[in-house]
Amino acid sequence: MKTSKGIARIGRFEVPYRIYGNSDKLLVCVSGAMQTMSIWRSVVKRFTGDYSVVLFDMPGVGRSRILSGGAHVTVDEQIEVLDGLVAHTRSDGDLVLAGSSWGTAIAASYAALKPDAVQFLLLSSFGMRPNAGMEYVVKRATELYHARDYAGGAELIFEVFGRNLGPVYKQQIVAQFRNLTADSAEIFYRHCANILTLGGLDEAVDLTRIKARTLIINGADDPIIDLEDMRLAATLIPDCQLRLIDDVGHFLHFEKPELLEEYAEFLLDRAPPAGSEPALANAVI
């Protein structure tokens, strides 16, 4: 497998990235809050035969660096980082954005702002607005931050939406939160605090502008995302398919690795054609 790596200077940030594969088609993976590029390893393994898979650490996470200014990284800055990285790595082929958790908001926002740039949009664990479960997470995360109990963040994840994770990934999360620096903890705290003030994604972004063929895939047992969000998104995004997966929570293919084949059916043109009726699969609504 061809692999290259580098550091992109984008605005006030240094953004480390990796490219796996040598296809003209680009699959750029956008991680959730506090998630490093390492969470996409199984996606790299599955899709490098068809795409060049691009991974990166968002500012404030992993090996990225904030070169100037404060620790808080705004939503607009995150979108600018994604835009800069796409420009830095793209060739002439199709562009696929694959977002996870918070990364879905950034990927969807980019696809709405640059509708002609994105051909496919894969949104896993996609929510439009914070629900009661998310409000509880934000409240507890804020308390842990002020108590300087950074390691408690891992237990909070396991308590609320990471119960179905396997031991290996749980160990990685424990180590990540145990080793948080004060700056990284502040970034996470500010991110959590902002979630409740941002309102609904549909209020900030015109999702009707998205031209990409879109798949939203969520777990039926995810306590921080509401089913109504999927229904609303399907009315706004013109070419949108939905999958609701039974017996799976927020971490999708980490909990059920075979879900990578659901992604493949969509990305490799074996999905229903554009204009077909959106459906909620694998669950009774």
Q: How confident is the model at residue 187 (pLDDT cuts 50, 70, 90)?
A: confident
- From residue 113, alpha-carbon distances to 81, 175, 216 in Å are 14, 36, 19
- From residue 4, alpha-carbon distances to 45, 55, 58, 92, 125 in Å are 15, 11, 18, 18, 29
Q: How confident is the model at residue 256 (pLDDT cuts 50, 70, 90)?
A: very high
Residues 170 and 157: their CA atoms lie apart, in Å, by 9
Residue 271 lies in a domain: yes
pLDDT in tens, 213-230: 999 999 999 999 998 988
pLDDT in tens, 160-170: 999 888 898 89
Residue range(s) defining the domain that contains residue 26:
3-127+204-281
The region, left, alpha or beta by phi > 0 then psi within -120 to 50, assigned to residue 275 is left
Residue 155 lies in a domain: no
pLDDT in tens, 54-79: 999 999 898 999 999 988 899 999 99
Give residue 67's pLDDT: 95
Give residue 178's pLDDT: 92
Pairing of strands 13-20, 65-66: antiparallel
Q: Packing angle between helix 167-178 and helix 152-160, nearest 10 degrees?
A: 140
Residue 167 lies in a domain: no
Residue 218 lies in a domain: yes
pLDDT in tens, 90-131: 888 999 999 999 999 999 999 999 999 999 999 999 999 999
Please say whether the beta carbons of 23 and 75 come within 8 A.
no
pLDDT of 274 over the 50 cut = no
Task: Tally the domains of the chain.
Answer: 1
Q: Which DSSP string corresponds to 182-198?
A: HHHHHHHHHHHHHHHHH
Give residue 72's pLDDT: 86
Residues 56 and 62: their CA atoms lie apart, in Å, by 9
Residues 99 and 106: their CA atoms lie apart, in Å, by 8
Q: Kindly report the number of other CB atoms within 10 A of residue 251's CB atom.
A: 24
Q: State mean pLDDT over 153-179.
A: 91
pLDDT of 159 over the 70 cut = yes
Phi and psi (nearest 5°) for 255? -85, -30
Q: How confident is the model at residue 132 (pLDDT cuts 50, 70, 90)?
A: very high
Phi and psi (nearest 5°) for 164? -90, 5
Residue 181 lies in a domain: no
Please give the mean pLDDT across all residues of the chain: 90
Please say whether the beta carbons of 160 and 223 come within 8 A.
yes
Burial class (CB in 10 A: 0-12, 13-18, 19+), 50: middle
pTM exceeding the 0.85 threshold for the entire prediction = yes
Assign residue 270 the CATH number of its domain: 3.40.50.1820
Instruction: Name the β-bridge partners of 218.
Output: 244
Instruction: Name the β-bridge partners of 19.
Output: 4, 54
Please report which helix (H) or strand (E) contains residue 55, including its range: strand 52-56
Residues 40 and 82: their CA atoms lie apart, in Å, by 16
Residue 179 lies in a domain: no
Residues 124 and 243: their CA atoms lie apart, in Å, by 9
- The SS3 of residue 6 is strand
Is the torsion defined by CA of 207, 27, 30, 40 positive or negative? positive
Residue 137 lies in a domain: no
Pairing of strands 52-56, 13-20: antiparallel
Residue 185 lies in a domain: no
pLDDT of 276 over the 50 cut = no
Q: How far apart are the first and last CA of the chain?
A: 42
